[in-house]
Structure 1
Amino acid sequence: MRVSIKKDVCIGAGQCALTAPDVFTQDDDGFSELLPGREDGGGSPLVREAGRACPVQAISVTEE
């Protein structure tokens, strides 16, 4: 699985970090970012739910 965040779309709602805190965090400006080494989702079952929770669909989860 590959997880990515469209930085130009993210509004900093933080739903991803609340839903899957072991994969997502927020930067100093409040925008979402992946934790280091979590580009593959880290095996978290909540990654897809975090993508669905994003109000602007800034998160994409794809199978490799």
Structure 2
Amino acid sequence: MSDVKITVERDRCIGAGQCVFNAPELFDQDDEGTVVVLEEQPSPEQEPAAHAAEHACPARVISLS
């Protein structure tokens, strides 16, 4: 595991799906299209995809800490 943790503000999600497009192993969408985090702590190999999803989100609801 890496030291990176994924958090999202689900109530602000607009359902664009860019997180799933960029990191399908880390994110999914529920029936309403709202982001769902599949893995809160990505592996070091998954970190680039997590960062890509964070930067691609038009609503800026994804944070990495």
TM-score by structure 1 length? 0.87
Q: Percent identity?
A: 40
Q: Where in structure 1 are there 5+ consecutive unaligned residues?
A: none
In structure 1, what is the Cα distance between the partners aligned to 2:43 and 2:27? 10
TM-score by structure 2 length? 0.85
Question: Among 20, 44, 51, which residue is 1:17 paired with?
Answer: 20
Question: Among 33, 57, 60, which residue is 2:60 paired with?
Answer: 57
Higher helix share: 2
RMSD over aligned Cα atoms: 1.0
Cα gap change, 1:11 to 1:22, in 2 (>3 Å): same
Q: Which moved more, 1:52-61 or 1:40-49?
A: 40-49
Q: Where in structure 2 are there 5+ consecutive unaligned residues?
A: none
Q: Which moved more, 1:42-51 or 1:24-33?
A: 42-51
